[in-house]
Structure 1
C-alpha cells in the first residue's frame, strides 16, 4: 500500500514542479498573470517560477517586428491623388503597458493599432505638401516626420517604433496619362525658355563680334590710308629730288609711265600728230639728233662777214 501512495505523491510533486517552473527564451518576454492581473515580468532568458494553477504565463516576441500597411490613397495640396504604401519596424518596449493597451489580442491587435497610427500620420504629413515633394528628395524629410509622430503615439501602446519608410508613392492609373502630359508640357516649356535664352545670348555675342570686326577693319583701313599717304609723300619727295638731280631722266620716266597707262589692254589706238611731243622718246637717237639739227632753234645764225664761205648745197 505504501508504494502506490509514494508513487502518487512523487507524481503529484512532479506535476506541481512542472506547473511551477517555466522557461524564458532569449527571443521572448514572459508575463506572469494571476486572475488576469500582472504579477511578474521576465525579460532575461532562463528558468523562472510561478504559483501553480493560479498563475499562468503569457509570452511575447521581443524581436523587431515588421509591419506593411495596405495601399492608402492620399490627396496632397495640389489635389493630385497618390497611392502610398508604408512599412514600419517596431518592437515591444514595455510589456505591461503593451498588455494593458492591446489586451488579449497580442501581436495581431498591436499590428492593427500601429497600422491605424501610421495611416493617420501618412495622411496628415502628405496632405500638407504638394505631390512634387513626395516624389522628390523631400520625401526623406516627410518619412522622418511621419516616424517621429508615430513614435510619440506608439509609446502609449508600450511599443518602440524603430523606423518608418514609404515603399511606394504612385499616381492612380486613371491619372497617369494626364500627369505625364502635364509634365511633358512643362518640360517643353522649360526647353523653349532655355532655347530662347540661348538664342538671345548668341545674338548678343554675334553683335559684339560684328562690332569688334567692324572696329578692327576700320582701324586697319585708317592705318592703311595713313601708311599709303606717307608712302605717296615719300615717293613724291624722292621723285622731286630725282627731278632736281637729272631732269632729263625724270622726263624719261614720266614718259614711260604715260606710255604704259595709254597702251594697256584694248586702249592702244591713239590719234596724235607724228611730231607730237608724246612720241619724243619713241624716235631713234639718230632721228632725235636730226630733229634737233633741223629745228629752227638749232640752225646757226647767218654770218655778216661777206668773206665767209657759203653753206654747202
Structure 2
C-alpha cells in the first residue's frame, strides 16, 4: 500500500515530463527549440519533436506566404510631379534561424516594421530615379518598376531571413492639392481640342457652302445663258415669220401690227384713245374698213374686236 502511494506521484511526474517534452510541428510552421535564448534545435519539417522540459522552449513561426500592406507615401519622379504611392508585398520566412537572430523576441511584428522601412526606401529609390517620370509610373510600365522594387527589397530583406516573393503597386495617384489642378489642365486641353475641332468643322462647312454657292451661280448662269439662247432663237424665229408674213402681204402685216398696238393701248376697261382720222396709227384700219364698204361713222360704233374680225374678210 505504501509502495502504491509513492508510485502514483512518480508516474504522474514522469508522464507530465514526457508530455512537456513533446511538441508537434504543423506543415504550415517552422519551429525553433531555445534554451536560455540560445537556439538548440531547428524543426522545419512537420512532425513530432522532443525537447528538454522546463529548461527548453519551442517558438513557432508561420511558414506560409504572408502579406504586408505598406503605408501611403509620397514620391517625386524625375518630372517633379509628386505622386501618392500605396503598395503591398508578399513575403515568407526563408531562414528561421537568421530571422530569430535579426528580430529576436519581436517576432513578425518587428520583422514587418523593418520590412516596411525597406519597402518605403526602395519605392522612393526606384520611382525617384532618373528617367522615371510620372507618366511611366502611371502607364503599363508600372509592372516593370514593381519588379525592380521587389528585387531591391529582396536583397535588402535577406538579412532578416525573409524572402520577398512579390511587390505590387496598388495605387499611384496625384496628391489632392495637385489633383484639381491636373483635372483643370485636362479640362482645358479637352476644351482646346474641342475648339480646334469646331474651328475645323466651321472651316469645312464654309468650304462646302462656298462650293455650293459657286455651283448655284454656275448653274443659274448656265440656265440663264441657255434661256437667253432659247429666247434669241425664238425671237429670231418670230422675226423670220414676221418677215415672211410682211413679204407675202405688206398691207395685212401693217394692219395686224396696228391692231396689236391698238389692243395693247386699250387694255383697261375705262381706257379711251383719241386719234386723228388721218393718224398713221389707224390709217391701215380705215383702209380696210373702206375696202369693206363701211364709212368712218359706222366704224366708230364698232369695237376693235369687231373691226379686226371684219377687216380680214376683205383682206
Same fold (TM over 0.5): yes
| Structure 1 counterpart SS, 2:77 | coil
Greater shift, 133-142 or 108-117, is seen at 133-142
Greater shift, 192-201 or 254-263, is seen at 254-263
| Structure 1 counterpart SS, 2:281 | helix
| Residue 289 (structure 2) pairs with residue 286 (structure 1) | yes
| Distance change >3 Å, CA 260–CA 48, structure 1 → 2 | farther
| Structure 2 counterpart SS, 1:278 | coil
Q: What is the aligned counterpart of 1:150 among 150, 153, 159?
A: 153
Matches within 5 A, 1:227-242: 227-237=227-237, 239-241=239-241
Q: Judge conservation of contact 2:29–2:64 (CA < 8 Å) in 1.
A: yes
Aligned length: 285
Q: Judge conservation of contact 1:134–1:169 (CA < 8 Å) in 2.
A: no
| Distance change >3 Å, CA 169–CA 54, structure 1 → 2 | same
Cα deviation, residue 168, structure 1: 6.5
1:49 aligned partner? 50
Q: What is the aligned counterpart of 1:39 among 38, 41, 49?
A: 41
TM-score normalised by the chain length of structure 2? 0.69
| Residue 122 (structure 2) pairs with residue 118 (structure 1) | no
Structure 2, gaps ≥5 residues long: 297-315
| Residue 198 (structure 2) pairs with residue 184 (structure 1) | no
Q: Judge conservation of contact 1:96–1:158 (CA < 8 Å) in 2.
A: no
| Distance change >3 Å, CA 270–CA 78, structure 1 → 2 | farther
Cα deviation, residue 59, structure 1: 0.3
2:110 aligned partner? 109
Q: CA RMSD in A?
A: 4.0
Q: Judge conservation of contact 1:143–1:166 (CA < 8 Å) in 2.
A: no
Cα deviation, residue 56, structure 1: 3.4
Q: Judge conservation of contact 1:20–1:51 (CA < 8 Å) in 2.
A: yes
Greater shift, 222-231 or 284-293, is seen at 284-293
2:256 & 2:154 partners in 1: Cα distance?
Answer: 112
2:203 aligned partner? 203
1:69 aligned partner? 70
Q: Deviations over 1:6-42 (max 9, x none)?
A: 3344234313312331022454322334672353323
Structure 1, gaps ≥5 residues long: 294-313
Cα deviation, residue 94, structure 1: 3.8
| Distance change >3 Å, CA 260–CA 43, structure 1 → 2 | farther
2:143 & 2:11 partners in 1: Cα distance?
Answer: 65
Q: Judge conservation of contact 2:65–2:90 (CA < 8 Å) in 1.
A: yes
Q: Deviations over 1:125-171 (max 9, x none)?
A: 33244445556666555445434543454355333434433356452
Cα deviation, residue 195, structure 1: 0.8
Cα deviation, residue 118, structure 1: 0.9
Q: Deviations over 1:258-301 (max 9, x none)?
A: 45666679xx89897543333357669535646999xxxxxxxx
TM-score normalised by the chain length of structure 1? 0.69
| Distance change >3 Å, CA 31–CA 193, structure 1 → 2 | same
